[in-house]
Structure 1
Amino acid sequence: MKRVVVARQDNLGDVLLAGPAIRAIAAQAEHVTLLAGPHGAAAGELLPGVDEVQVFRAPWIDPDPPPLTRPSVEALAEQLTGFDAAFVFTSFHQSPLPLALVLRMAGVPWIGAICDDYPGSLLDLRHRVPGDPPEALRMLSLAQVAGCSLPFGDDGRLAVRRPLPDVSALTGIGDYVVVHPTASVPARSPSPVHSGRIVDALTEAGHRVVVTGAKPEGMTADVDLSGRTTLPELAAVLAGAEVVVAPNTGPAHLAAAVGTPVVSLFAPVVPAARWAPFGVPAALLGDQHAPCRGSRARTCPVPGHPCLDGIDPAEVVAAVAELAKRPSRQATA
Structure 2
Amino acid sequence: MNLNLSNARILISRVDAIGDVMLTLPLCGMIKKYYPDATIIFLGRKYTEPVLKRCSSIDQILIYDEWTDDNTAVQRLRQLQIDVIIHVLPNRRIAMLARKAAIPIRIGTSRRWFHWLYANKHVYVKRKNTKLHEAQLNMMLLKAIAIREIPALEDLHQYTSFSTTRTIPHAISSLIEKDKQILIIHPKSAGSAREWPLSSYDELIRLFPKDRYQIVICGTKQEKSTLGGWLTTLPDYVYDMMGKLSLDEYIEFISSANIFVAASTGPLHIAAACGIRAIGIYPPVVPMHPARWQPLGSCSGFITASKTNCHLCSKKSDYCRCMSEISAYQVYQKIMDN
Question: What is the TM-score when the length of structure 1 is the normalising length?
Answer: 0.77
- Correspondence 1:36 to 2:53: no
Query: Which residue is equivalent to 1:54?
Result: 62
Query: Which residue is equivalent to 2:74?
Result: 77
Distance of aligned partners of 1:99 and 1:278 in 2 relative to their CA distance in 1, 3 Å threshold: same
* Secondary structure class of the residue paired with 1:156: helix
The structural deviation recorded for 1:284 is: 1.6
Question: In proportion to residue count, which structure has more helix?
Answer: 2
Amino acid at match of 2:30: A
Alpha-carbon contact 1:239-1:258 (below 8 Å) kept:
yes
CA–CA separation in structure 2 for the residues paired with 1:149 and 1:235 = 32
Distance of aligned partners of 1:128 and 1:186 in 2 relative to their CA distance in 1, 3 Å threshold: closer
Query: Which residue is equivalent to 2:166?
Result: 164
Please point out which of 247, 251, 273 is paired with 1:235. 251
Please point out which of 98, 106, 110 is paired with 1:103. 98
* Secondary structure class of the residue paired with 1:188: coil
> Sequence identity of aligned pairs in percent?
18
Query: Which residue is equivalent to 1:316?
Result: 331
Distance of aligned partners of 1:275 and 1:155 in 2 relative to their CA distance in 1, 3 Å threshold: closer
CA–CA separation in structure 2 for the residues paired with 1:41 and 1:169 = 27
Amino acid at match of 1:260: I
Alpha-carbon contact 1:171-1:210 (below 8 Å) kept:
no
- Correspondence 1:200 to 2:206: yes
- Correspondence 1:284 to 2:303: yes
Moved more, 307-316 or 248-257: 307-316
Alpha-carbon contact 2:183-2:216 (below 8 Å) kept:
yes
Query: Which residue is equivalent to 2:317?
Result: 300
Gap regions ≥5 residues in structure 2: 1-6, 150-154
Question: What is the TM-score when the length of structure 2 is the normalising length?
Answer: 0.76
* Secondary structure class of the residue paired with 2:181: coil
The structural deviation recorded for 1:134 is: 0.8
The structural deviation recorded for 1:97 is: 4.5
Alpha-carbon contact 1:171-1:237 (below 8 Å) kept:
no
Alpha-carbon contact 1:10-1:36 (below 8 Å) kept:
yes
Query: Which residue is equivalent to 1:273?
Result: 291
The structural deviation recorded for 1:156 is: 3.3
Number of matched residues?
A: 302
CA–CA separation in structure 1 for the residues paired with 2:123 and 2:166 = 36
CA–CA separation in structure 1 for the residues paired with 2:210 and 2:45 = 41
The structural deviation recorded for 1:21 is: 0.8
- Correspondence 1:19 to 2:25: yes
CA–CA separation in structure 2 for the residues paired with 1:188 and 1:205 = 32
CA–CA separation in structure 2 for the residues paired with 1:260 and 1:123 = 39
Distance of aligned partners of 1:222 and 1:13 in 2 relative to their CA distance in 1, 3 Å threshold: same
CA–CA separation in structure 2 for the residues paired with 1:75 and 1:272 = 41
CA–CA separation in structure 2 for the residues paired with 1:155 and 1:262 = 13
- Correspondence 1:141 to 2:160: no
Distance of aligned partners of 1:190 and 1:35 in 2 relative to their CA distance in 1, 3 Å threshold: same
Amino acid at match of 2:41: T
CA–CA separation in structure 1 for the residues paired with 2:309 and 2:72 = 45
Instruction: Give deviations 1:124-164, integer Å, cap 9, x for gaps.
Output: 321123533111122123235513589xx996343313433
* Secondary structure class of the residue paired with 2:334: helix
Gap regions ≥5 residues in structure 1: 59-68, 327-333
CA–CA separation in structure 2 for the residues paired with 1:272 and 1:155 = 15
| CA RMSD between the two structures | 3.2
Distance of aligned partners of 1:158 and 1:23 in 2 relative to their CA distance in 1, 3 Å threshold: closer
Moved more, 247-256 or 199-208: 199-208
Query: Which residue is equivalent to 1:65?
Result: none
CA–CA separation in structure 2 for the residues paired with 1:158 and 1:249 = 17
CA–CA separation in structure 2 for the residues paired with 1:294 and 1:35 = 36
Alpha-carbon contact 1:136-1:278 (below 8 Å) kept:
no
